[in-house]
Amino acid sequence: MKKWLVFIMVLLVMVVIAACADDSSQEGEGGSDAGADTDADAASEGGDATTLSFIHWRGEDKEVFEDIIAQFEEANPDINVEMNIYPSEQYQSNAPQLLRDGSIGDVFTSFPGSQFETLKDAGFFSDLSDEDFVSKFSEGSLGVGQADGKQLAIPYQMVFNMPVYNKGMFEELGLEAPTSWSEYQEMADTLIENDIIPIAFPGADIGPNQTMNSMMMNNAKDEDVFQKLESGEESLTNEWWTSTLEDFKFFNENGYFQKDALGTNQDSAMQMVANEEAAMLATGSYHMATLKELNPDLELGFLPPITAEAGEVAYEGIHTATFMLAIHENSEKKEEARKFIDFLSDSEIASQYANGTGQHLTVKDVQYDSEELQNTAYWITDKKTRFQPRYLITNGSVEDAVLGSIENVLGGASVEDAAEEAQKIVEENIE
């Protein structure tokens, strides 16, 4: 009996194991089939879509671009746009490496000046001369993206690289925008008397490269001065640059900038203006939207430093056509890239971008809704501004020397020593 019981028990165990094995096998096959069907469905739904890489440096525009990209993808379901954003200083120096193998940046952006020259020499730009969307942009802005008779990049933004100021604060103090060096000094002294820092200067990052433009605009009236510097016809030891360094030194030593200006970054400088500790921000129009987010009560305008006396003022401010859109020459997705730039250049989409980011644009027929853009648009047509001088430096080492001389003066070096040291670097890097 015991043997029979053991035999029966073994048979039962074997039956149960076999049944479990069958169930497991069926479940496994069913799961495998279901997974295959899911993959097939995914492939049929999105497998034919082309992924377009778009890279730029405007982190503050992320949400607006995401909305615009969603609209583009809805209108073009066969194209997905993958956007990558890099800090501006990193993008300025690393863009050639990012673009080198062609794996990213089917559509990329370029700064004017030395970066444009570097990317051009590397052969990264496609020729856009015959593209229909070029006609959607203001002709006066297109030159900065041209080289060798070709339209290599399309400037999207019209930026004013000059200090933004608190108009409401000026009205409360009975101050008017100065039109001469004497008036500018009186204005700054009044602000200091009221315990207000005249200018929040972000010397730790973009302060020198932005403020130099309006500081030198009336000291070096020759718009070809940097071209002449790079050809050896001009020198940083000449008056046009030493007088600019003297002005920086004067601003720093007389409290026009905050203490430890070289240790202040742009975020801290913006917060100073938002908190109304400082009257002006030494950056440009591209920070107006952020300032309004930090303090919605601010009423803003432009107030570049006037370093010349009345009758000697040739320029009232600085403009730049920048954020230049381009198509990678080595991209395998040029048709999709063309569609994306054409979409961005539509006046309605451009208006959405302008109002969402607080940027003036070069696209024709843009409608500005925000108070700041409407109140400052007259600078495009009614003010005598010059193109940002720094972007006319085509040699990166020369640009570093120029900016380094500003930092050295703010750090305590004499104007003469800073200018001579910078000029030596220039001479070592020009042909």
What are the residue boundaries of the structural domains of the chain, listed by start?
50-159+320-386, 160-319+389-428
Share of the chain above pLDDT 90, in %: 81
| Calpha distance 106→125 (Å, rounded) | 10
Residue 375 has pLDDT above 70, yes or no: yes
- Within this chain, domains 50-159+320-386 and 160-319+389-428 share the same CATH topology: yes
- CATH value of 160-319+389-428 in 1.10.3720.10, 3.30.1240.10, 3.30.413.10, 3.40.190.10: 3.40.190.10
Mean pLDDT of 88-114: 92
Share of the chain above pLDDT 70, in %: 89
Q: Which residue has the higher pLDDT, 139 or 185?
A: 185
Mean pLDDT of 312-322: 93
Mean pLDDT of 369-391: 88
What is the reported pLDDT for 4?
Answer: 43
Residue 278 has pLDDT above 90, yes or no: yes
Chain mean pLDDT for the chain = 89
What is the reported pLDDT for 47?
Answer: 59
Contact between 104 and 53 under an 8 Å Cβ cutoff? The reply is yes
What strands, in cross-sheet order, belong to the sheet with 278-281? 197-200, 278-281, 164-166, 300-302
Mean pLDDT of 155-165: 95
CATH architecture of 50-159+320-386: 3-Layer(aba) Sandwich (3.40)
3-state SS of the chain is CHHHHHHHHHHHHHHHHHHHHHHHHHHHHHHHHHHHHHHHHHHHHHCCCEEEEEEECCHHHHHHHHHHHHHHHHHCCCEEEEEEECCHHHHHHHHHHHHCCCCCCCEEEECCCHHHHHHHHCCCECCCCCCHHHHHECHHHHHHHEECCEECCEEEEEECCCCEEEHHHHHHHCCCCCCCHHHHHHHHHHHHHCCCEEEECCCCCCHHHHHHHHHHCCCCCCCCHHHHHHHCCCCCCCHHHHHHHHHHHHHHHCCCECCCHHHCCHHHHHHHHHCCCEEEECCCHHHHHHHHHHCCCCCEEECCCCCCCCCCCCCCEEEEEEEEEEEECCCCCHHHHHHHHHHHCCHHHHHHHHHHHCCEECECCCCCCCHHHHHHCHHHHCCCEEECHHHHCCCHHHHHHHHHHHHHHHCCCCHHHHHHHHHHHHHHHCC
Which residues does 398 contact at the CB level (< 8 Å), separation at least 6?
Answer: 226, 229, 230, 425, 426, 429, 430
Structure tokens at 59: 């982190």
269-272: long-range pairs with CB below 8 Å, 24+: 269/200, 269/201, 269/202, 269/207, 270/200, 270/294, 272/197, 272/200
Residue 182 has pLDDT above 90, yes or no: yes
What is the reported pLDDT for 140?
Answer: 86
| Calpha distance 44→32 (Å, rounded) | 18
Residue 8 has pLDDT above 60, yes or no: no
Contact between 408 and 417 under an 8 Å Cβ cutoff? The reply is yes
